[in-house]
Chain A
Amino acid sequence: GAVVSQHPSRVICKSGTSVKIECRSLDFQATTMFWYRQFPKQSLMLMATSNEGSKATYEQGVEKDKFLINHASLTLSTLTVTSAHPEDSSFYICSARPRAYGYTFGSGTRLTVV
């Protein structure tokens, strides 16, 4: 089946530093990938839609300069949290649609900013 691999699974960084999260489609090509953020006991919130070869589309209220998205190939999208602060600590999840319907999700990245 279609697999989306996300790395790292957890990361701890110091306030002010940047962190990169990778999302790979292992057995299919993904022209579009999606990035979500999830706070404890809350639903997934769509942050942005990553488009291969073009700029990402960000949801309202999401800072483009803080959450940099790069989708340089058909199998890899990256999310970089720049100048991270404790309030950026969250669970970040990526997904892609290997078929015309249905999403496949990565296993998520737990980011803790100290």
Chain B
Amino acid sequence: LAKTTQPISMDSYEGQEVNITCSHNNIATNDYITWYQQFPSQGPRFIIQGYKTKVTNEVASLFIPADRKSSTLSLPRVSLSDTAVYYCLSPGKSTFGDGTTLTVKP
């Protein structure tokens, strides 16, 4: 199964906006893109989901271009507690990529 591709790690500082991009070239026509957050020794937690264009909720925004081959998770004004691993996942494919380890520094 084709996996998604993300940067392995990113560093940021408190209060900054963080954008994490995921490539999913083989996304199926009816697949949504979902992003998850995982803290150590916990199961992944849902952040946001979208099909195309832009979706926003209380914690993040998700941008998906017209070709849907990539998506960008945007975290506004991150805090230390946002330090975690972030995964993008296409529901049609239940396999995970390597995820992005985000480290937020004071």
Residue numbers of A with Cβ under 8 A of B are 4, 6, 34, 36, 43-46, 49, 91, 93, 95, 97, 101-108, 110
A79 to chain B minimum Cβ distance, whole angstroms, is: 14
Q: Are A49's CB and B94's CB within 8 A?
A: yes
Q: Are A43's CB and B32's CB within 8 A?
A: no
How many A-B residue pairs have C-beta atoms within 8 angstroms? Tell me: 53
Q: Report A-chain residues with C-beta under 8 Å of the C-beta of B46.
A: 102-104
Q: Are A93's CB and B32's CB within 8 A?
A: no
Q: Report B-chain residues with C-beta under 8 Å of the C-beta of A97.
A: 91
Interface size on B, residues (CB 8 A): 20
A98 to chain B minimum Cβ distance, whole angstroms, is: 10
The 5 A-B pairs of least Cβ separation, nearest first, read A105-B43, A101-B32, A44-B96, A101-B91, A108-B43
A47 to chain B minimum Cβ distance, whole angstroms, is: 11
Let me know if B56 is at the binding interface, CB within 8 A: no
| Chain B 48-106 interface residues, beta-carbon cutoff 8 Å to A | 49, 87, 89, 91, 94-99
Known: A101-B91, A107-B42, A110-B41. 8 other contacts (CB 8 A): A4-B43, A46-B94, A97-B91, A101-B31, A102-B49, A103-B34, A103-B91, A105-B36
Let me know if B44 is at the binding interface, CB within 8 A: yes
Given B32, B43, B89, B99, which contacts A107 in the complex, CB threshold below 8 Å? B43
Closest A residue to B1 using CB positions: A46
